[in-house]
């Protein structure tokens, strides 16, 4: 069973629970990333979370490149 991280704000907690629901109901993963440098969250969906995180942190996603490194919540 998923364990809710205690450091999330209310909006991030709601997204986190949605992630758990969608991962069970459908065969893709909804994910939340956090950038310490920007102090911002980013959400997305993928069928391959390891590859997608690599893409984000290698700068392949131009729109969030400024937040590198991104951490998976």
67 pLDDT more than 60: yes
Q: Is 54 exposed, middle or buried (0-12, 13-18, 19+ CB in 10 A)?
A: exposed
Q: Is 66 helix (H, G, I), strand (E, B) or coil?
A: helix
- Predicted confidence at residue 59, as pLDDT, reads 93
24 pLDDT more than 60: no
Q: Which residue has better confidence, 62 or 16?
A: 62
The model's pTM is: 0.62
- Predicted confidence at residue 5, as pLDDT, reads 63
48 pLDDT more than 60: yes
């Amino acid at each position: 069973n998923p364990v809710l991280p205690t450091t999330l704000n209310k909006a991030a907690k709601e997204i986190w629970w949605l992630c758990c629901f969608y991962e069970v109901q459908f065969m893709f993963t909804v994910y939340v990333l956090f950038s310490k440098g920007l102090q911002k969250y980013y959400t997305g969906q993928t069928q391959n979370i390891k590859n997608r995180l690599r893409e984000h942190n290698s700068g392949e996603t131009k729109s969030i490149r400024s937040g590198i490194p991104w951490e998976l919540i």
